[in-house]
Structure 1
Amino acid sequence: MAVLPENPMAEPLVSVALATYNGEKYIREQLASIFAQTHQHLEVIIFDDGSTDGTLEILKEMAWNRHNLIIHANAPQAGVVQNFSRAIAAATGDYIALCDQDDVWLPGKIKETLTCLQELEKSSSKGTPALVFTDLKVVEENLKVIDASYWHHMGLNPEYNSLNRALVENVATGCTILLNKATKELALPIPKEALMHDVWLLLTASYFGQVKYLHEPTVLYRQHSYNAVGAQRKGLFRHLAFVLEKALKNNLQLLAGEIKQAEAFHLHHQNRLSLNPAHQRILEAFIALKEKGLLGRKRQLINYRFLRSSWKNNLSLLLRG
């Protein structure tokens, strides 16, 4: 059982931004793990995306005696990115933790990431965007551990969180992220071109501020058939077959979504890009990939180190890029 502080209100307010859609099977367990956190000064902002199962009824039942559980019902099918964008916008805390509907948080998740984020803020000037993310344990529906490290499971390197790396690969899983208010204010509203809400937030913090990660898993990341984005791992031979099958197709397709996202980021921040000239050059070099021929693209990918964590993913990128 979590050991609670004597005066939770003396702690910083952390807003938990939770997007739901047809999540009745696991939402009770997820919320129970939030309310069992060692950091207790919380508000939970839930935006439901038009659930047709019993999700809303469960949420209302759990909220009736909790002033810090706030439920919003969207018009149906706003989509996961916009659902999260609205939840983050509604958050009133100094810090915002992102949450999926079907995982389980370990009891020290908020406290550990908050301590790390506050240390990061102390090393920066006031108002600097800052973001922290962590590893996860990949588990089955019954919470049996599949892999003690999501990063190992997916072949991800958390050190690859700089701007040039984040433009081609997201290593910051949303449900582990804690961000400060400065990151929120720069990132919102998240545009429709964003591939996912978490990578958009990572891009914002890596361009304008500070990013740090914790090796310790803070979430049990449940794998099941209804995950919006799952931990799908390809074996070596399956991956090579996939790469070779796709190698002859339009070699810009692989990066088309990432380039559109980068263009949207450029437009969103057009009046402040010059605050970091080095990062502006990196961003614009990435966008310029679409104007280059095959050899020019490959050269630019390597020169600016627009590379991913594993050699398998880089093989895919360079063969098709």
Structure 2
Amino acid sequence: MQNPLISIAMCTYNGGKYLKDQLDSIIKQTYKNIEIIICDDGSTDNTIDIIKEYSKKHTYIKLFQNEVNLGFVKNFEKSISLCHGDYIALADQDDIWKEKKLEQFILNINDNLLIYSDAIIMDGDGTISNKELIRPKGNLVKGKCNKAFLFTNCVSGNTLMFKKELLKYILPIPETITYHDIWIAFVASSYGTITYTEEALTYYRRYAEQITSTREKNYKSLRDRFNTKKDSNIKSVKDAIDNILVFKTINILDNEIKEIMEISLKHLTTFKNSYFNNKLFRILKKYKDEVFAIKKENKRMKYVRRISYGLKAHIMSFFTI
């Protein structure tokens, strides 16, 4: 196909403040054979008016309004399911795309099931920084690399595009998965291979409403800091359990990753009452360059130890700092 259709699956919810910037950046893409499928999840601001205004000028913009709020993961599932393209790209309502994003994706996806890029951080006013979302603190990964998504993720939903043949494997998106993008990345790198572009092709908008007190580390007291870190550890473990249980349902996984998942689950389900799991430590150490490929090489053993610790060990380490 010389000029395949690319569908852009977008979800909106009270996004009127930044939506025009995002729609303009998609409309200005150098690659022109596109459709934009927008599923709105019950906006009460001017989001619907903006979309209707744009759809009058650009007939390839299609609006679907949910009767009930689905939440962002299931809303993306709906938007994806309504796409007709040979390729499907995901779009958040408040980012901005570089003009050649889709062109670069089409040129570089080749035989891979999915392609993605890093993103450049900008603030709520649209001021663009020189910081990327993943690099330089982490790595992007490619190939048949599903082990890299067991505990972490570098494939942000707003930066990816995949081939329509992936739909039969990713839909429906499991109810218990933490985020749709880690599910899509894991599945794509299990059934085939993924790749990325060296150039970051999305401007990712980070604004005050997204920044939590935890990220800013505004602890009220030592006890507050302790409880916040404890709760964060417990939540991370719950998310990891939920993800791995879903990942296990894929029937083409090799024996290596199956073993890692089984040992990980045994440790994580007893996390609150354990200190250290030596069996998990040994297997993570053996496969550290695959499991923690997203982390910098000199940091991987740190994460091997961190995952192998139980909550009691994390508590002890806090008081020995």
Same-fold call, TM > 0.5? yes
Provide the rounded CA distance (Å) in 2 between the counterparts of 1:287 and 1:247.
21
Alignment-derived partner of residue 70 in structure 1: 62
Cα offset for 1:94? 0.8
Kindly provide the CA deviation profile for residues 112-158 of structure 1, in whole angstroms up to 9, marking residues without a partner as x: 012111x234xxxxxxxx111101111122322223422236x2211
Q: Kindly, what percent of the aligned residue pairs are identical?
A: 27
Structure 1 residues 200 and 17 mapped into 2: Cα distance closer, same or farther (>3 Å)?
A: same
2:195 equivalent in structure 1: 212
Aligned equivalent of 1:259: 241
Corresponding residue number in structure 2 for 1:273: 252
Aligned residue number for residue 289 of structure 1: 267
Q: How does 1:165-314 map to 2 (within 5 A)?
A: 165-227=148-210, 253-267=235-249, 269=250, 272-273=251-252, 276-290=254-268, 294-296=275-277, 297-305=280-288, 306-307=291-292, 309=295, 311=299, 314=303
Conserved in 2, the CA contact under 8 Å of 1:243 and 1:316?
A: no
| Structure 2 gap ranges (5+) | 218-222, 312-321
Instruction: Determine the C-alpha separation between the residues in 2 that align with 1:218 and 1:283.
Output: 33
**Contact 2:95-2:204 at 8 Å conserved across structures:** yes
Compared with structure 1, are the counterparts of its residues 287 and 142 closer, same or farther at alpha carbon in structure 2 (3 Å cutoff)? same
Any idea what SS the aligned residue of 1:146 has?
strand
Give the alignment's TM-score, normalised by structure 1. Answer: 0.80
How far is the alpha carbon of 1:253 from its aligned partner?
4.5
CA contact (8 A) 1:248 1:320 kept: no
Matched residue count: 292
Q: Distance in 2 between matches of 1:298 and 1:246?
A: 25
Deviation readout 1:240-264 (Å, 9 max, x if unpaired)? x999766767966432212212212
Query: Is the Cα–Cα contact under 8 Å of residues 119 and 132 in structure 2 kept in the other structure?
Result: yes
* Structure 1 partner of 2:105: 113
Q: Distance in 1 between matches of 2:51 and 2:122?
A: 24
Residues of 1 paired with 2:179 and 2:224: CA distance?
23
Give the distance between the partners of 1:29 and 1:213, measured in 2 at CA: 25
**Superposition pairs of residues 124-135 of structure 1, within 5 angstroms:** 130-135=113-118
Secondary structure class of the residue paired with 1:295: coil
Task: Give how far 1:17 is off.
Answer: 0.6
Report deviation, 1:28: 1.0
Q: CA deviation at 1:167?
A: 1.0
8 Å Cα contact 1:136/1:217 also seen in 2: yes
Instruction: Quote the offset at 1:33 in angstroms.
Output: 0.6
Asked if 2 retains the 8 angstrom alpha-carbon contact of 1:135 and 1:176, the reply is yes
Relative to structure 1, is the Cα distance of residues 140 and 250 closer, same or farther in structure 2, using a 3 angstrom cutoff?
closer
Matching residue's letter, 1:167: L
Contact 1:48 1:72 in 2 (8 A): yes
In 2, the alpha carbon distance for the partners of 1:234 and 1:83 equals 30
Deviation, structure 1 residue 299: 3.8
Q: State the 1:217 CA deviation.
A: 1.0
Q: Which runs of 5+ in 1 are unaligned?
A: 1-8, 122-129, 236-240
Report the 3-state secondary structure (helix = DSSP H, G, I; strand = E; otherwise coil) of the residue aligned with 2:89. strand
1:149 and 1:89 map into 2 onto residues whose CA distance is 30
